[in-house]
Amino acid sequence: MTPVLGSQLLLYAAIAIIALVILIARYRINPFIVLTVVSIGLALAAQMPAKDIMAAYETGVGKTLGHIALVVALGTMLGKMMAESGGAERIALTLIDKFGEKNAHWAMVCIAFVCGLPLFFEVGFVLLIPIAFTVAKRAGVSMLLVGLPMVAGLSVVHGLVPPHPAAMLAVSEYGAQVGKTVFYAIIVGVPTAIIAGPVFAKFIAPRIQLPADNPIADQFTERDATPRELPGFGITIATILLPVFLMLLGGWANVLSDKGSVLNGLLLFIGNSVIALLIATLVSFWTLGIARGFTRDNILKFTNECLAPTAAITLLVGAGGGLNRILIETGVTKEIIALSAQFQLSPLLLGWLLAVLMRVATGSATVAMTTAAGIVAPIALASGYPHPELLVLATGAGSLILSHVNDGGFWLVKEYFNMTVIQTLKTWTVLETLISVVAFLLTLGLAQLL
């Protein structure tokens, strides 16, 4: 059998990426199926022995899901407890009261940034959108002025900050420390969310005329629901930020204690993302569950219910890991390493560019980040890049760019905000692109300082 040349491998990889785009975006085929079929097709084209293909693919899926499945499950349970207890509503009402209704756009970006930590973008969006509708009506402002800062905060946390699945996978691929990644992500993420959220919303809201009537908003703002007793602000915020605090402790364990000491081992243990989320989830069963009058049966029901919708996300992340393994086994990754060395691209720029290409192609930030991280990690290792945490941020930034019609988030924002496709492109798509570019530039600046 004639060996496949390097240039041929790169051509096959390019065809595989184009196939991903067409099958997912044009023909609307399930992304998990597409990723699996394209991975097998690429392996066959690269003349990988047929008997080894599925073993390699399964290894990639298993390695990816071994960690991510636990993070997804625990993060979803924590988010569900926050939703059912009214914790998110309490945080929102408290911050809006502090900021004042006229500064609601600043309050909403803070709410989204905090509440988005344990939640997927879609879950956080559906959870917070009723609050945004209510605030916009009460303050008498455009829904865009309130809603865009909300989605900016959620999107920044989704793309940059662990314990979100894609960010956690990138942390694993790059060998980064979770605590340090969270710390740097907050440094980069806060100014990014401000620029893409309140600042951009203030600029664009007067320039977009939304219809006077929004049927979805009416469902939330005109209902006469009996007010429920909400948990306290302090206990809610402490529960939500507990895993972040524990991961930060783990990240700085070697600074706070002597290596090899009992304290050092304890800090590293509780700072592990799975342990941190497990502790926070168990704490939430009391603070946001039993202490709120829920029974053990209620909590069991909540935690069972919330896992079903995560199946698709988990499979998608796993399939991305399978594709990464095929790229490595077929030698495509080595060819990309050689090509990047020839063009002298830094790992930061390469991570961002590859994530950008995958995001535009597939519409999924998760697929973009996991695939790009799998390709760039060996390159970063080969070049001895010293700041793997910044590689996570650069790849995450690239994975958020240019959301358009092949992204589920695009249609979610369009429908709830009652916009046309053109209006959604002018607002949501530009906002996502702003996040990507600003976060990447700030990451580059941070790299210079470090």
DSSP-derived 3-state class of residue 294: coil
Could you report the per-residue pLDDT of 321-339, keeping only the tens digit for each?
Answer: 788 788 888 888 777 767 7
Average per-residue pLDDT for the chain: 84
Produce one character per residue of 119-133: b if its CB has 16 or more CB atoms within 10 Å, e if not.
Answer: bbbebbbebbbbbbb
Give pTM, 2 decimals: 0.71
Distance between CA atoms of 349 and 341, rounded to whole angstroms?
12
User: Cα dihedral angle (223, 224, 227, 230), rounded to 10 degrees?
Assistant: 0
Distance between CA atoms of 133 and 129, rounded to whole angstroms?
6
Could you report the per-residue pLDDT of 224-252, keeping only the tens digit for each?
Answer: 455 678 899 899 888 888 887 888 788 77
**Is a pLDDT exceeding 80 seen at residue 345?**
no
**Is a pLDDT exceeding 50 seen at residue 223?**
no
**The amino acid at 272:** N
Query: pLDDT-based confidence at 3, cuts 50/70/90?
Result: low
**The amino acid at 339:** L
Query: pLDDT-based confidence at 100, cuts 50/70/90?
Result: confident
Q: What angle, 0 to 180 degrees and rounded to 10, lies between the N-to-C axes of helices 143-160 and 165-174?
A: 30
- Structure-token pair, residue 295: 């029974």
> Rg (Cα) of the chain, in Å, rounded?
22
Residue pair 314/114 in contact by the 8 Å Cβ criterion: no
Could you report the per-residue pLDDT of 13-70, keeping only the tens digit for each?
Answer: 889 878 876 887 678 788 789 889 999 999 999 999 999 999 999 998 888 787 777 8
